[in-house]
Amino acid sequence: MNNAALKAQVTELISNIPDEQVEHFALTIEAVARCYQSQALHAVLLVQNDEDQTQSVYAINAATEQATEMVAALAEALRMVEKEESGPLN
């Protein structure tokens, strides 16, 4: 895929995003693009399809080991937040 084809595809995708989600999309796509521009930035994108109960993981400028570490750190952070929100166990 070349730049012109990508721009056309992204333009079409953006036109189908509800206005209230465009700003969040812009922040997300900028963060992903910066990972491709800098060797110091890495990301993991997790996409879940509720219809067929599948998940896809995309490592962005990250080796498998880096992606695994990022997902593990995220899981731990979410467990901590969940634990704090639920309060002490009785």
pLDDT in tens, 38-88: 999 999 999 999 999 999 999 999 999 999 999 999 999 999 988 887 765
The tokens for 12 are 């079409």
Mean pLDDT of 10-34: 94
Q: Hey, what's the torsion of the CAs at 58, 15, 31, 46, to 10 degrees?
A: -30
Cβ atoms of 61 and 39 within 8 Å: the answer is: yes
Q: 59 in helix, strand or coil?
A: strand
- % helix, strand, coil for the chain, step of 5: 60, 15, 25
Write down the pTM of the prediction.
Answer: 0.75
Query: Which pLDDT score, from 0 to 100, does residue 82 have?
Result: 86
Say which residue the tokens 């570490």 belong to.
69
Query: Which pLDDT score, from 0 to 100, does residue 88 have?
Result: 59
Query: Which pLDDT score, from 0 to 100, does residue 83 have?
Result: 85
